[in-house]
Chain A
Amino acid sequence: MAPQKMRPMRYAHFEGHTDICYTDDGRYIVTCGSDGEVRVFEGLDDDDFKTHLVAECASAVVCTGTRILVGTDNNLVQAITLEEGASDGIIIRFTAPPTHLAVSKDGYCVVGGASDMTIRVHGPADYNDRVLTGHKAPILSVALDPKGEYLASSSCDGTVKIWQLGTTSIISASWNLLPATNSFSASSTLCRMAWLPSGETVCVPVGSAVNLYSRNDWQLMYQLTDEAVTETLSIVTASPCGKFLAASSTKGDIVVWDVATKGTVIVEKHPKALNISGLKWNPSGKSEIAFVDINGQFGTIENVVEVDYRPKVQGKENGISAAPFPPLTSEDYQDGGATNQTEDEDDDEYSIAKIKSQLGFADDEAGTFLGVAGGLHNEDSRSSATQPTTTTTAAPPPQTLRLPEPQRPFQPGMSPEHLIDRYMVWNNVGIVRQYNTPDSKVNEDDGSIEVEFHDTSVHHALHFGNPSLFTMAALSSQALILASEAREEVPSKLSVHHFAAWGGGGSNKEWHLDLTSGEEAVSVAAGVGFVALATDRHTLRLFSSAGVQREVLCAAGKVVCIAAHQDLLMVVCHSGMGVSGEQSMSIQVLRIGGKGGKGRHPLPFPTPLPLSPRSYLAWAGFTDEGTPLTMDSTGIVRMMHYKYGYTWTIVLDSKMHTRGKSDHYFLIGASERQSNVRCILCKGSRFPPVLPKPHVSILNMKIPLCEGETEKGELEEACMRSSLLLQTLTDSSAEEEEEAKHKIERSVKEAMIKLFALACRGDLDARALDVCQLMPSHQTVGLAIKYAAKLRKLHLADKLGEVAAAKMKEEERERERELEEEDVYRYNSWDTQARGNGTGFENENEESLQQDEDMEEQLEEEDEERERQRRQDNPLLMAAARKRSENTFTTSLLLSPATKNPFRRSNTLTTNTKKGIDVIDRFRKSQKKSESSPVLRPVVRKPQNKQQQLLGNKCKASQEEGTSTTQTPPESSTQATGKENQLSGQSITTATQNNTQMTVEEPEPPTTTTTATAKKPSALLLWLRDHREEVLKRYPGGDSGEESDLVPTAAMMFKDVDASVKQKYKNLAAGITPINTEESDKKRKLEDEDKDSPDHKKKSQNIVKASGLSKLSSFKFSKASQD
């Protein structure tokens, strides 16, 4: 047996006298208080309790059937219905507020005591509204004999009287037991009496004891006391089985006695030792006591005693043998039989059940069982003639294993259906409210539905009547979906307002559908392009948004709810009976694509849905990014976590943000990218009220890590959360998300590095290593190495080097695989955009590098800051630090290979890399560079250099212009061709190669000549200068003196000149160089040399030769010019 437990109390009413009672079946606890409200709780944990306002102040409450009788300050005993709280007539009128009520088990006889000193008995027609006068002060309490013969009453005048119910004046007994006061509120005791269910004993709390009087002779049999209780006992109540008595004192003690043994079973203490103003025993078999105090708080004690029916018989025997009731059993056998009435009945029940099963009757307990029991009861009631009815007594039903009730289907984002004004749905798109009138279930025209869109550009607000009694709604930016439950004769209906519909009249936007009879809608969902409907036949019907029936799928079980987002559909079903009060559900997420579900299903099979212990599902849906998200009734928000298959992770404990115990958050949506959850704070309830319109609050996601408040915890949390988001973004892999992805990556790195630094500073090297192993890329590890080296943790740095190497290898593999994939992709569809080509990645890479550096700086700054602060605190340290800073300099020099990031890549290097590489391996690259530098030429650069040279040439040309005018024309021609060369690319090389051994075979060579020609006049030009007359003779049109015009002709002639002359001019042309380029810097020459070195040795040799022979050639030149 579970230990008895007193649960924490909860608020029920304002401060003041509060009363409590159970409904006959023990399912609900009803309280009333000085705020004039009656509340109906379904157990202590019921957050969705009903509240009925009856008056300014209510002082007494009893339940009978489905009615609640309340004594109110307007001197009435009113009846209200349990469910709706609607008034059900006035039972008794007093001239002062009633103080206590009692009702017979059958509910026919109602007795009330009031401050006007009268007791009124409202009963069946034969003794209607009798007034019992006799008390000389306000009545404290009344108690009805279970046999319906007597009535016990207590009053502020200190007396306790036993009345004969049939009459108005005959008093069977009267004792003066209590201290006298003059008003109900001033009385120190409430003197709530109780009859044992047998009716043979009446129990009266007197002082710190309970007096038990026997029936008929009204003799005091004995007193029950407990040494732990010294205060006045004011309430006594008997357990439904009659074995136990519970009493409470004015100082909050609760005592339970075993009537048979007179021993104390338990003693409990009210946590605040407040006066208890109401105490009741659960009339069902449940061993539970409920109580209220004068502060309006209400609580229960569970498992008060072990309720077991076998020992009960034993107990009866014990009772007889121990002879606390000798007069009863010996004197009146019949009464004795009646004492055991309930037990007998129980036995009968059992035997009947047994017989029934033996005879093989249908196992339909309801009819048979009650019928027989009723018959039995009739027999019994003959013995007690005053019992006016034949209704069954509240014999506790045999205790069976209580199975948890499977959660009923719901719509995510709705408030409960019994509310008059409720939300049918509140989601990211808008709000659908349903307004009912209390009787709209009957009158179909009264209800209405209002749709409000958050974004008014989606659709204007809608308001329409609700004649079809829709109870379920789903809303997307494309459609509003309404569905109703089936009623008699009326099938379940589906109605869709398709906003995006066009053409025809306005009526075309709506379509309706009746479900087949026997099928009922339980949940609806609206996705993009489809509408889903779950029915109680465990089927899922899919429609297109315009109403084409597309699929009928089978759900894995009883559907709890369905939700949709874009083309995703989530189905939550019951998958079995949960253990120990838990729900057992499964979840499935499908992609309802355009062509019959093409593409990857996020959750193709029903997998178990995680819930907190003993909770139920409160919300299910998707984040804005399309990841499944749920919230359970304990406020835990969970998100799908694909990292380990189909697992879930907790992203928020919303209860952490609530102030009160009964405050809850009502989830609306979540955004992973912003890392927050949108919800509404509901004070004192689970659901937001319709009026005033609540405000959405935004809670940041927070993974509940241990020690989340410490710096370490925070960093770990940030790290984990960011990588979670990264996962989602990677999965979605949309183009525009690259930027966001980089941002997240950066934040992960940042958090990692900080975590690493934290571990380093705490001298937790092993942890630091662990952190590094979790780092996303080796670059980050590189940073960490640098940091470790700075802290002179060489061993750690060494280890990290290994980690970095391993990571590098891994990345390499990854990249190769990606490359392959990409190749395949390219091959398959190379008309698609060249996504992520080399240069793009290059940039990104540089960017990330930049970021890393930034981060490093930041880290350093942070460190410095810390250091400085420490120094400022201590002047000695300051001096030491100065010294140390010098030291660190030297060490950093010493450690230069370690401090220098070995993976660092120089920014200037721009190699054409392969495509599709996400992270470029710097280490490898640097190696590659050193290997390949003599061979691999950055081709792209060449034209650039060319241009520079050209520019230089131009300058020089303009300088030369002044001195030798004759050179200008070819100069300009080279300029023009130079530009061409830039475009013509590599052919230049050959041109330059040849330019010294200039063969002027066709007119093109001079045009293709480059820098070299520009610097020095070519052999042709020299020849032309010398043989101008000849050329002019051959080409008379060239008189104008334009040398450029002459050049083609000259070239033709030069071609024909014999080889020796050609050679001479060639030598001349070569020899001229040093002289003409005297003022030009040697650097450029070197550059030229360097540039062309491997391929053009000949040329460079020529140049060297030329420079070696410079003197000679200059001499030659001057000689030639003299010639």
Chain B
Amino acid sequence: MDSIEIEFLAEKAPVTIVPNFTHDKLYLISGDVGPFTAGLPVDIPLWLGINLRQRGKCRLVAPEWMDVEKLTEIKEEEKQSKVFTQMPCEHYLIVTQLLLSSAPEDIPNAQQIKTLVKDIWDLRISKLRSSVAEFIESEGTHATLDRLTLLEINSVRPFLPHAFDQLHRISKSAHGSNLSQTTQDIQY
């Protein structure tokens, strides 16, 4: 899976907007959207929200979790916890990235939020990397990683299994050569 595809999936997440136009329901394949009433908040898919925002048709409302206080809390929790903590949104990084790039003026404290989300991401990724390293070193065969988001999994997924394969091959060959050596020893 590509990160582009994950972004595509993330764009289905709902976002609240305040439209500046009035329109009936939109009947889309994925479901009905609207109706839109000027000045009243409405939940729509993210992709549509961003599209409308770019055309100056609405104001985006930051999701509830996109708040400096809440994010600081989450960050602290993530820092304290040994395992991964539950994220407020499956695609938190993408949603933040999309919202902040399209409408930074609609989100209060945009800069701080950007930093915080990036911090959380970094924390989690470093946690993931260190746990991967630990896993390999401990030569375990399986591990559970709960509450990882799609993008996070995808950040290691293309590489990790491949690396394991290689490792396996190497260890196998090393083992095999060892074995063959011993057998040779016996033969001799």
- On whether the beta carbons of B20 and A454 are closer than 8 Å, the reply is yes
Cβ-neighbour of A455 out of B39, B59, B108 (below 8 A):
B39
- The reply to whether the CB of B89 lies closer than 8 angstroms to some CB of chain A is no
- On whether the beta carbons of A692 and B108 are closer than 8 Å, the reply is yes
Bound-state CA distance A697–B21 (Å) is: 18
- The reply to whether the CB of A428 lies closer than 8 angstroms to some CB of chain B is yes
Residues of B within 8 A of A698 (CB): 40-41
CB distance from B81 to the nearest CB of A (A): 28
CB distance from B180 to the nearest CB of A (A): 63
- On whether the beta carbons of B40 and A455 are closer than 8 Å, the reply is no
- The reply to whether the CB of A695 lies closer than 8 angstroms to some CB of chain B is yes
- The reply to whether the CB of A457 lies closer than 8 angstroms to some CB of chain B is yes
- The reply to whether the CB of B9 lies closer than 8 angstroms to some CB of chain A is no
Cβ-neighbour of A695 out of B18, B20, B21, B22 (below 8 A):
B18
Number of A-B contacts (CB under 8 A): 32
- The reply to whether the CB of A456 lies closer than 8 angstroms to some CB of chain B is yes
Which residues of chain B in 24-70 are interfacial with respect to chain A, using CB atoms and an 8 Å cutoff? Answer: 38-41, 59, 61
Bound-state CA distance A698–B108 (Å) is: 21
- On whether the beta carbons of A455 and B20 are closer than 8 Å, the reply is yes
- On whether the beta carbons of A454 and B41 are closer than 8 Å, the reply is no
- On whether the beta carbons of A456 and B20 are closer than 8 Å, the reply is yes
Q: Which among B21, B39, B41, B108 has the highest number of chain A CB atoms within 10 Å?
A: B39
**Nearest-neighbor residue (CB-CB) of B16 within chain A:** A695
- On whether the beta carbons of B41 and A696 are closer than 8 Å, the reply is yes
Which residues of chain A in 672-700 are interfacial with respect to chain B, using CB atoms and an 8 Å cutoff? Answer: 678, 692-693, 695-698
- On whether the beta carbons of B18 and A456 are closer than 8 Å, the reply is no
Which residues of chain A in 416-470 are interfacial with respect to chain B, using CB atoms and an 8 Å cutoff? Answer: 428, 430, 453-458
CB distance from B88 to the nearest CB of A (A): 18
CB distance from B144 to the nearest CB of A (A): 34
Q: Which among B22, B38, B41, B59 has the highest number of chain A CB atoms within 10 Å?
A: B38
Bound-state CA distance A302–B40 (Å) is: 44
CB distance from B99 to the nearest CB of A (A): 15
Bound-state CA distance A692–B68 (Å) is: 14
Cβ-neighbour of B39 out of A457, A692, A696, A697 (below 8 A):
A696
Residues of A within 8 A of B18 (CB): 695-696
Residues of B within 8 A of A693 (CB): 59
CB distance from A714 to the nearest CB of B (A): 24
- On whether the beta carbons of A678 and B21 are closer than 8 Å, the reply is no
- On whether the beta carbons of B22 and A455 are closer than 8 Å, the reply is yes
Bound-state CA distance A430–B20 (Å) is: 10
Residues of B within 8 A of A697 (CB): 41
Residues of B within 8 A of A458 (CB): 38
Bound-state CA distance A457–B22 (Å) is: 9
CB-CB contacts of B64-82 with A at 8 A, as 1s and 0s? 0000000000000000000
**Nearest-neighbor residue (CB-CB) of A452 within chain B:** B20
- On whether the beta carbons of A457 and B21 are closer than 8 Å, the reply is yes
**Nearest-neighbor residue (CB-CB) of A668 within chain B:** B39
CB distance from B58 to the nearest CB of A (A): 10
**Nearest-neighbor residue (CB-CB) of A697 within chain B:** B41
CB distance from A691 to the nearest CB of B (A): 10
CB-CB contacts of A999-1021 with B at 8 A, as 1s and 0s? 00000000000000000000000
Bound-state CA distance A698–B42 (Å) is: 10
**Nearest-neighbor residue (CB-CB) of A691 within chain B:** B108
- On whether the beta carbons of B41 and A455 are closer than 8 Å, the reply is no
CB distance from A957 to the nearest CB of B (A): 51
- On whether the beta carbons of B108 and A430 are closer than 8 Å, the reply is no
Bound-state CA distance A696–B22 (Å) is: 16
- On whether the beta carbons of B39 and A695 are closer than 8 Å, the reply is no
Bound-state CA distance A430–B22 (Å) is: 13
Q: Knowing A692-B108, A695-B61 touch, does A456 contact B39 (C-beta < 8 A)?
A: no
Residues of A within 8 A of B20 (CB): 453-456
- On whether the beta carbons of A428 and B108 are closer than 8 Å, the reply is no
**Nearest-neighbor residue (CB-CB) of B42 within chain A:** A698
Residues of A within 8 A of B39 (CB): 428, 430, 454-455, 696
Q: Knowing A678-B40, A696-B39, A696-B41 touch, does A455 contact B61 (C-beta < 8 A)?
A: no
Residues of B within 8 A of A692 (CB): 108
CB distance from A453 to the nearest CB of B (A): 7
Residues of A within 8 A of B21 (CB): 455-457
Which residues of chain B in 6-23 are interfacial with respect to chain A, using CB atoms and an 8 Å cutoff? Answer: 18, 20-22
Bound-state CA distance A698–B43 (Å) is: 12
Bound-state CA distance A428–B22 (Å) is: 12
- On whether the beta carbons of A454 and B61 are closer than 8 Å, the reply is no
Bound-state CA distance A453–B40 (Å) is: 12
CB distance from A1112 to the nearest CB of B (A): 72
**Nearest-neighbor residue (CB-CB) of A457 within chain B:** B21
Bound-state CA distance A455–B39 (Å) is: 7
Bound-state CA distance A698–B22 (Å) is: 17
Q: Knowing A454-B20, A455-B20, A456-B20 touch, does A696 contact B108 (C-beta < 8 A)?
A: no
Bound-state CA distance A696–B20 (Å) is: 13
- On whether the beta carbons of A695 and B41 are closer than 8 Å, the reply is yes
Bound-state CA distance A594–B169 (Å) is: 90
Bound-state CA distance A696–B40 (Å) is: 7
Bound-state CA distance A477–B29 (Å) is: 34
**Nearest-neighbor residue (CB-CB) of A430 within chain B:** B39
Residues of A within 8 A of B38 (CB): 453-456, 458
Bound-state CA distance A428–B41 (Å) is: 13
Residues of A within 8 A of B61 (CB): 695
Residues of A within 8 A of B41 (CB): 695-698
Residues of B within 8 A of A455 (CB): 20-22, 38-39
CB distance from B44 to the nearest CB of A (A): 15
CB distance from B112 to the nearest CB of A (A): 14
Bound-state CA distance A692–B106 (Å) is: 10
CB distance from A433 to the nearest CB of B (A): 14
CB distance from A1011 to the nearest CB of B (A): 50
A455-B21, A455-B38 are known; give 18 further A-B pairs, CB within 8 A. A428-B39, A430-B39, A453-B20, A453-B38, A454-B20, A455-B20, A455-B39, A456-B20, A456-B38, A457-B22, A458-B38, A678-B40, A692-B108, A695-B18, A696-B18, A696-B40, A696-B41, A697-B41
| Contacts from B to A (Cβ < 8 Å) | 18, 20-22, 38-41, 59, 61, 108
| Contacts from A to B (Cβ < 8 Å) | 428, 430, 453-458, 678, 692-693, 695-698
Instruction: Show 24 A/B contacts (Cβ-Cβ < 8 Å), sorted by A.
Output: A430-B39, A453-B20, A454-B20, A454-B38, A454-B39, A455-B20, A455-B21, A455-B38, A455-B39, A456-B20, A456-B21, A456-B38, A457-B21, A458-B38, A678-B40, A692-B108, A693-B59, A695-B18, A696-B18, A696-B39, A696-B41, A697-B41, A698-B40, A698-B41
The 10 closest A-B pairs by CB, nearest first: A454-B39, A455-B38, A454-B38, A456-B20, A692-B108, A455-B22, A695-B61, A455-B21, A696-B41, A696-B40
